Structure 1
Amino acid sequence: MNIKNIAPHIIAVLIFIILNMVMYWPLFMENKVLNQNDVIQGKSANQEINEFREKTGEEALWTNSMFSGMPAYLINTQWSGELLKYIPRTIEKIIPTPASHTFIAMVAFYILLLVFKVNPYLAIGGGLTYGLNSFFLISVEAGHIWKVAAISWMPAVLAGIVLAFRKKYLWAFVLTALTMALEIRSNHLQITYYLLLVVLVFGLFQLINAIKNNTLPDFAKAIGVLTVAVLLGLGANLGKVWTAYEYGQYSIRGKAELSTNTESSGGLDRSYAFAWSNGIWEPFTFMVPNFYGGASQEEVSMTSDLAKGLESRGVNKGQVRSFVKNVPTYWGDQPFTSGPYYMGAVIVFFFILGAIFVKGHIKWWLISASALGIILSWGKNFELFNYFMFDYFPGYNKFRAVSMTVAMPFLCMPLLAFLGLRDIAQANWPAVKKQFLTAVAIEAGLCLLFVLASFLMGFRGDVDAQLGDQAWLIDLIREHRADMFRTDAFRSFAFIIAAAGVLYFWKENRIKKSVAIGLIVGILVVDLVPVSKRYLNDENFVKESRDELVQKTEADKKILQEEGHYRVLNLNNPFNEARTSYYHSSIGGYHGAKMRRYQDLIENHLQGEISQVIERLRSGSTNFSDFSVINMLNTKYIKFGNQAGQVIDNQSANGNAWFVQEVVTASNPDEEIAALSNVDTKQEAVINTNRFELSQNQFTAGSIELVSYKPNELIYESVSKSEGLAVFSEIYYPEGWKAYIDGKEAKILQANYVLRALKIPPGNHKITFEFKPDAYFISNKVMMVCSILILVLFIGGLAYQIKKSI
């Protein structure tokens, strides 16, 4: 084995580790963890699942922790057949998460550049670029771990696909199967979908090129190899894909059932999906980070002109210090942002060089895919194209926050940038020198043009209206935004000139190639790290473990004195928080894919009842007997704070199950949801008789009690003199739940729009609900076989390659 050949790869790995240590120093050296809101929310949602796993060694496939109940495999399910999980877990033992995701992203992009025959030492700069941009690291800081995991594997998947069209079929198959499996395992189908769009554009250009060059047989062979590899990767994740598809039909990403919801015909509501849309000019943050003022709120220095301006207006120092901690600096189109998506002024400059110097269909693929990602990110600000995509392109309407499509240019633009460096390094300098200088003049000149234009810009944002009629304060903030804009435009100008100078002197033979490459990598790091550090820095790390971040409050302690299975309503933003779920079964929660029917219930009943609960508490009353929907969900406790005295014991909750005396019939979902406004859920049940047959509408009372609770199994005992209809305060889900009365299967009915019901014969009976979805038990076997095949192929291919190189 030639050590010289593997030396660059060893150096690359070492540099990637060192840079990760720089970005995550407290994680490596101070035993701290990132204080990530979404991770804390996720841990809260996972708690019931984790406790059940630790206690029994089994998987909780259903959980009552959020939204009165939902499949657990949408939150945190471990698959016994998923062997490939040990690859990222092994990396995490050496490099702790989330730094491990940044490391994987760097290595994956490095591999992609090697496939395109970029100089290995230059490819190190590419890996650093992909892992250190602010789009990636802001997502890390926010706790979007599955998102960054999916982003990190994208370049490696692309590398495998490209190899297939280079006729490297063995490694194309092995690399695509392995990385596609790891990509899907990341469990962020939205990012994987955007990768698919990039691949589709690539495939289109490959097809055109094959037709032009009469190489369709080679194209077909590559497609065949990749198809089998992708199917193997899918097979290794069958459970995740199957359950996501199955649940998607019943979630807010599925078809709407109410006729009033005219926007949704098989996907998200358009207004919801496009809420986070980039402004038309927002992609300029790729090269000038503070083009739109940074994050929604940023801390400003006490020595800034803004702080001095406040003091000159007579504002005391304490108030100034408080105000500058959260200045509304962002003035773009999004309702909220954690920071700008900065790709790097140097990378954008190199991208322009790539657009000029790279020849052939690869260039047009990367430009087209980048442009598509940018246009899609505009969302509602470019309706003509994006509403068409949303309404007609398969699967596109399943995803929200379209600004996330910038994942496409953040993959494609750096790739073309380094292909441009590759080609300019090999080009005849006298022949391309003029084009090079023109490119420098264009981008550097653009930065200077931004500076000049800033004196004519208003820097007005929608957030300004929240400051009322304080025109002097608004003017100070806008002046500060202008200063931020100009400072970063000059900053980008300086980095472009520095990078261009290195390239120029390299090609003029004034500096050596090795020195030039080292300087370019250094400039890239110095360009990216300080901007990313604005949003991911030492202040984001905390000493406490995440367990301590979800502390048991006095309110929690009071509620936990109650034994049995019941639910809790947190009046503080109940449908956008999951902390309640850490210790309790909640009627609220935090998840991007609630059940469609439960969302309908929230919008049509729960939000109204919750508002009335708040008004009643303000009036001093704790009588909630007339809140039929809250009560039918077995909401035993209502909390409005963290003190023991801020918990109300709701004596009117319906309990875990009850017999009703009358059925109110409905013929469609509209009638079902509307009828809930006029029924006493303790005595009556609303059932759609077009879906569920009933031989009678009148029933006699009886008694029913929950005697055993597990996430996957609930056991009741009932007593009734004649046939009765029991309603259960459990969410109806048609896939996987089975009901048994004395061991004999019984048909589960859907009552009150979201709950389960059973017809129960007279006498004493044991009633059991079990959740055993085929999607879990069948998939585990398939996943095991496919995972073993992938691992055997990968290890075999690696052994063959090593033997070949010895």
Structure 2
Amino acid sequence: MENKTLNQNDILQGAGANQDIVEYREATGEEALWTNGMFSGMPAYLINVHWSGELTRYIRQAASLWLPTPASQTFTAMLAFYILLLVFRVNPYVAIAGGIAFGLNTFFLISVEAGHIWKVAAISYMPLVLAGIILTFRKKYLLGFTLTAVSMAMEISSNHYQITYYLLLIVMIFGVFKLVDAVKNKTLPGFGKTIGILFLAVLLGIGANIGKIWTAYEYGKYSIRGKAELSSNTESSGGLDRDYAFAWSNGIWEPMTFLVPNFYGGATQEKISMNSDLAEGLRKKGAGSGQIKSFVNSVPTYWGDQPFTSGPYYMGAIIVFLFILGAFFVKSYVKWWLIAASVFGIILSWGDNFSAFNYFMFDYFPGYNKFRAVSMTVAIPFLCMPLLGFIGVQKLIESEWKENKKQFLKALGITAGLCLLLIGVSFVMRFRGAVDAQLGDQAWLVDLIRDQRASMFRIDTIRSFFFIIASGAILFYMKQGKIKKEIALLSLAGVLVADYIPVAKRYLNEENFKRDVKGAFFAPTEADQQILADKTHYRVLNLNNPFNEARTSYYHSSIGGYHGAKMRRYQDLIENHLQSEIGTAIEILRSGSTDFSELNVLNMLNTKYLKFGDQAGQIVRNEAALGNAWFVKKVKKVSSPDEEISVLGEINTKNEAVINSERFNISGTNFSDGTIELANYTPNDLLYKSSNSNAGLAIFSEIFYPKGWKAYIDGNEVDILQTNYVLRALEIPAGDHEIRFEFKPAAYYTGNKIMWGSSILLILLIIGSIVYSIKKQI
């Protein structure tokens, strides 16, 4: 109502990355399948492409009541978990509490605050997929098939395959328990029939997204998630580097934040009260009020193992209690499935802190090495633990109180007792963090910070103890008959809200909402306006953290960018040449010179402008940039990627090129000079005019990508060569010619047609299921 939106970094970076794609769509009504906005060029369908065959977006919008993001994802998550609990025949009041718990935990809300919207969307559909699977196993074949197909279509359309992969792990563990159950009860034929039905449902869900999957799979082989080509990158045999994937690994004790939010001090830096003991300690040391206020606004309270964290993954003290309760009261395979999945997810989140198991998973389990930030596997227990907990509440409601009262008190005693134990243990804990070493010889300040961590730990542990006792009391008096069931369950939901909201507001509050966030972030600077006066086609290098920002891409074609799946060869180029050349460029500028003629790799990427600030005087034009295309006189033939990347650093890219002759045939090594210029540019279509007296080799400052690009000389298709490790080249016969590059990937055009057909089938299936259900009721 105040016209404010969340200040989400990833959303802003994404807006910068896709701006040229959006502009092209608005101007032409067509989709830009390639973008020059980031990393000198990459497929646009990895960033922002509308698929006309993706009709499931209308189902998504309807399921979320057309709410704006991120409210739509939060509502969908609550609704989906509510439906899953109803499928498990849980009381609707209990299911309401469950929906609240699933939608308001800090793992979910911190992801919202960071702008990881597609991750949040994928998480929100996970319960619906499980609900469809459970219904199918209960022989509700039509309803189960429909729900599984539709929910899988929406899950995959969220385009966060890492979360979908974790959902697959949950389902696989479920499948093992169901298979064992089928073997014991001699019902293997029925098990096989159900698996067949679910396979078809998943297949239909995949079909509704096949274009997205196809293009992602196709690109994945050429990205940093694909096989490395350089021998120096020995760890990457078909996935991410191990160090990169495990950079965010939970500490062994990190899952204790499920129970106590400030177990490890909260976020990397926390805002502390001016009335705290820490602030008082600073006053005693003579610090002024301004200094104290500045320091307490960002105290390094986190002392866990992760390099950086936006906040703890707080599942809820009440949920941990209910999970223990469920372990006592749920007797079927469901208990062991959910416990096994939860433990598995926690072990995976430990990453290199439990390397004996997790390195094995990374090296040998299919597809696992495609994903980074293994701490994200807590998505598994964040689904399974509350599910077991609320099924446990239902079993408690149904149970004979006299026979099970002791079991209830055991669950309550274990959870509340753990909190009391933690409070006692805290008085012998050191609360040491890796950041403490950065404070040097200021031992007194380190002691104040550690005391603050200890205080936060104890306060939150007492807080968790209180909520466990409060929820336990509600359920106890309900079973004693002193509180009506409906009132007790609504009270439980209320206590859950009272638990979650204050913790959530530590990390997602009014300060996160701003007016015109996008407008302020992307307001054109003097430097932007000066560069934009140039109407030619060129690239810009932002010298300030170029490979982790996409604001530059909002207005310019950028050498850098912000994306989790850069092309493998471009990453190699960054590590082997660009980083060193950027350092050289900075030294040249510091010396007062603007002669960048020796920066051969940056020049071949048509880096016409270097930007080191926002003022008009903080950009430099690079006169040595080689332009959009040029002819070279010599070619150095090599026989391996290692030689390609090495020789590239030795040649003058203005006159020479390097080509791997083992992969690409080229007629000679000496060529004539000539002229070539870009006549027309659109993302999917580039037109050049050339003139050369003899056969020549033209180098194009465009990234080579083998899937979809076609080249034509005077209308005749010719082979595209890969040169200078990342660029395109063509052999041009003598004379005047018209050269055209077109990007028409089959994965997009054919995939989109399949998506149309599958989406229509899904919609017909939904309509048919509704009609059948109505007729059955009548």
Q: Do Structure 1 and Structure 2 share a fold, with TM-score over 0.5?
A: yes
Equivalent residue letter for 2:312: P
Moved over 6 A (4+): none
Alpha-carbon distance between aligned partners in 2 of 1:738 and 1:398, rounded to the nearest angstrom? 29
Q: Which residue of 2 aligns with 1:137?
A: 109
Q: Deviations over 1:213-247 (max 9, x none)?
A: 11111111110110000000000000000001000
Structure 2 residue runs without a partner (length 5+): none
Alpha-carbon distance between aligned partners in 2 of 1:34 and 1:382, rounded to the nearest angstrom? 36
Q: Which residue of 2 aligns with 1:373?
A: 345
Alpha-carbon distance between aligned partners in 2 of 1:134 and 1:739, rounded to the nearest angstrom? 50
Question: Which of residues 636, 643, 646 is equivalent to 1:664?
Answer: 636
In the TM superposition, residue 800 of structure 1 has moved relative to its aligned partner by: 2.2
Question: Which of residues 401, 404, 414 is equivalent to 1:429?
Answer: 401
Alpha-carbon distance between aligned partners in 2 of 1:546 and 1:563, rounded to the nearest angstrom? 25
Q: Are 1:506 and 2:478 counterparts? A: yes
Alpha-carbon distance between aligned partners in 1 of 2:737 and 2:66, rounded to the nearest angstrom? 55
In the TM superposition, residue 803 of structure 1 has moved relative to its aligned partner by: 3.5
Alpha-carbon distance between aligned partners in 2 of 1:465 and 1:591, rounded to the nearest angstrom? 32
Contact 2:109 2:504 in 1 (8 A): yes
Q: Which residue of 1 aligns with 2:515?
A: 543
Alpha-carbon distance between aligned partners in 1 of 2:775 and 2:310, rounded to the nearest angstrom? 49
User: Match of 1:439, SS?
Assistant: helix
Q: Are 1:612 and 2:584 counterparts? A: yes
Q: Deviations over 1:531-581 (max 9, x none)?
A: 111111111101115234211010000100111110000000000000000
In the TM superposition, residue 87 of structure 1 has moved relative to its aligned partner by: 2.2
Q: Which residue of 1 aligns with 2:275?
A: 303
Alpha-carbon distance between aligned partners in 2 of 1:699 and 1:469, rounded to the nearest angstrom? 65
Q: Which residue of 2 aligns with 1:557?
A: 529
Q: Are 1:198 and 2:170 counterparts? A: yes
Q: Deviations over 1:657-703 (max 9, x none)?
A: 00000001110000000001110000000000000112210011001
Question: Which of residues 452, 466, 478 is equivalent to 2:450?
Answer: 478
In the TM superposition, residue 96 of structure 1 has moved relative to its aligned partner by: 1.4
Q: Which residue of 2 aligns with 1:271?
A: 243
Q: Which moved more, 1:52-61 or 1:523-532?
A: 523-532
Q: Which residue of 1 aligns with 2:14?
A: 42
Q: Are 1:800 and 2:740 counterparts? A: no
Equivalent residue letter for 2:77: A
User: Match of 1:111, SS?
Assistant: helix
Equivalent residue letter for 2:525: T
- Aligned pairs for 1:207-286 within 5 A: 207-286=179-258
Structure 1 residue runs without a partner (length 5+): 1-28
Equivalent residue letter for 2:720: I
In the TM superposition, residue 357 of structure 1 has moved relative to its aligned partner by: 1.0
Alpha-carbon distance between aligned partners in 2 of 1:735 and 1:679, rounded to the nearest angstrom? 28
- Aligned pairs for 1:558-573 within 5 A: 558-573=530-545
User: Match of 1:726, SS?
Assistant: strand
1:493–1:160 Cα change, 3 Å = same
Alpha-carbon distance between aligned partners in 2 of 1:93 and 1:548, rounded to the nearest angstrom? 30
Alpha-carbon distance between aligned partners in 1 of 2:318 and 2:46, rounded to the nearest angstrom? 40
In the TM superposition, residue 434 of structure 1 has moved relative to its aligned partner by: 1.2
Q: Are 1:356 and 2:328 counterparts? A: yes
Question: Which of residues 456, 462, 465 is equivalent to 2:428?
Answer: 456
Equivalent residue letter for 2:373: A
Alpha-carbon distance between aligned partners in 2 of 1:296 and 1:264, rounded to the nearest angstrom? 30
Q: Which residue of 2 aligns with 1:103?
A: 75
- Aligned pairs for 1:3-14 within 5 A: none
Question: Which of residues 178, 184, 188 is equivalent to 2:156?
Answer: 184
Alpha-carbon distance between aligned partners in 2 of 1:537 and 1:88, rounded to the nearest angstrom? 27
User: Match of 1:665, SS?
Assistant: strand
Contact 2:64 2:75 in 1 (8 A): no
Question: Which of residues 307, 316, 328 is equivalent to 1:344?
Answer: 316
Q: Deviations over 1:370-424 (max 9, x none)?
A: 0110000000000000000000000000000000000000000000000110111
1:643–1:90 Cα change, 3 Å = farther
**TM-score w.r.t. structure 1 length?**
0.96
Equivalent residue letter for 2:162: Q
Alpha-carbon distance between aligned partners in 2 of 1:109 and 1:91, rounded to the nearest angstrom? 13
Contact 2:64 2:76 in 1 (8 A): no
Question: Which of residues 75, 84, 95 is equivalent to 2:47?
Answer: 75
Equivalent residue letter for 2:450: R
In the TM superposition, residue 802 of structure 1 has moved relative to its aligned partner by: 2.9
Q: Which residue of 2 aligns with 1:716?
A: 688
Q: Which residue of 2 aligns with 1:693?
A: 665
User: Match of 2:741, SS?
Assistant: strand
Question: Which of residues 465, 473, 478 is equivalent to 1:493?
Answer: 465
Q: Deviations over 1:490-524 (max 9, x none)?
A: 00000011111111111111211112111111111
Alpha-carbon distance between aligned partners in 1 of 2:367 and 2:96, rounded to the nearest angstrom? 35
User: Match of 2:610, SS?
Assistant: strand
Alpha-carbon distance between aligned partners in 2 of 1:406 and 1:396, rounded to the nearest angstrom? 15
1:233–1:94 Cα change, 3 Å = closer
Alpha-carbon distance between aligned partners in 2 of 1:177 and 1:379, rounded to the nearest angstrom? 33
Q: Which residue of 2 aligns with 1:577?
A: 549
Q: Are 1:740 and 2:700 counterparts? A: no
1:172–1:330 Cα change, 3 Å = same
Equivalent residue letter for 1:703: T
Q: Which residue of 1 aligns with 2:701?
A: 729
Q: Are 1:388 and 2:321 counterparts? A: no
In the TM superposition, residue 89 of structure 1 has moved relative to its aligned partner by: 3.3
In the TM superposition, residue 440 of structure 1 has moved relative to its aligned partner by: 1.3
Alpha-carbon distance between aligned partners in 1 of 2:435 and 2:377, rounded to the nearest angstrom? 25
Question: Which of residues 305, 328, 337 is equivalent to 1:333?
Answer: 305
Q: CA RMSD in A?
A: 0.9
Q: Which residue of 2 aligns with 1:405?
A: 377
Alpha-carbon distance between aligned partners in 1 of 2:600 and 2:424, rounded to the nearest angstrom? 63
User: Match of 2:614, SS?
Assistant: coil
**TM-score w.r.t. structure 2 length?**
0.99
Q: Are 1:152 and 2:128 counterparts? A: no
In the TM superposition, residue 88 of structure 1 has moved relative to its aligned partner by: 2.6
Identity %: 68
Alpha-carbon distance between aligned partners in 1 of 2:64 and 2:327, rounded to the nearest angstrom? 38
Q: Which residue of 2 aligns with 1:123?
A: 95
Q: Which moved more, 1:506-515 or 1:327-336?
A: 506-515
Q: Are 1:778 and 2:750 counterparts? A: yes
In the TM superposition, residue 607 of structure 1 has moved relative to its aligned partner by: 0.3
- Aligned pairs for 1:583-622 within 5 A: 583-622=555-594
Q: Which residue of 2 aligns with 1:313?
A: 285
Alpha-carbon distance between aligned partners in 1 of 2:771 and 2:272, rounded to the nearest angstrom? 56
Alpha-carbon distance between aligned partners in 2 of 1:235 and 1:375, rounded to the nearest angstrom? 33
1:546–1:90 Cα change, 3 Å = farther
Equivalent residue letter for 1:751: T
Equivalent residue letter for 1:652: A
In the TM superposition, residue 525 of structure 1 has moved relative to its aligned partner by: 1.1
In the TM superposition, residue 91 of structure 1 has moved relative to its aligned partner by: 5.6
In the TM superposition, residue 467 of structure 1 has moved relative to its aligned partner by: 1.6
Question: Which of residues 41, 56, 60 is equivalent to 2:32?
Answer: 60
Alpha-carbon distance between aligned partners in 1 of 2:61 and 2:528, rounded to the nearest angstrom? 34
Equivalent residue letter for 1:184: I
Alpha-carbon distance between aligned partners in 2 of 1:719 and 1:93, rounded to the nearest angstrom? 59
Alpha-carbon distance between aligned partners in 2 of 1:554 and 1:403, rounded to the nearest angstrom? 41
Alpha-carbon distance between aligned partners in 2 of 1:127 and 1:797, rounded to the nearest angstrom? 25
Alpha-carbon distance between aligned partners in 2 of 1:300 and 1:805, rounded to the nearest angstrom? 59
Question: Which of residues 650, 656, 670 is equivalent to 1:678?
Answer: 650
Q: Are 1:788 and 2:760 counterparts? A: yes
Equivalent residue letter for 2:380: M
In the TM superposition, residue 442 of structure 1 has moved relative to its aligned partner by: 1.2
Alpha-carbon distance between aligned partners in 1 of 2:405 and 2:571, rounded to the nearest angstrom? 61
Equivalent residue letter for 1:798: I
User: Match of 1:455, SS?
Assistant: helix
User: Match of 1:289, SS?
Assistant: coil
Residue correspondences, number: 778
In the TM superposition, residue 805 of structure 1 has moved relative to its aligned partner by: 2.9
Equivalent residue letter for 1:755: L
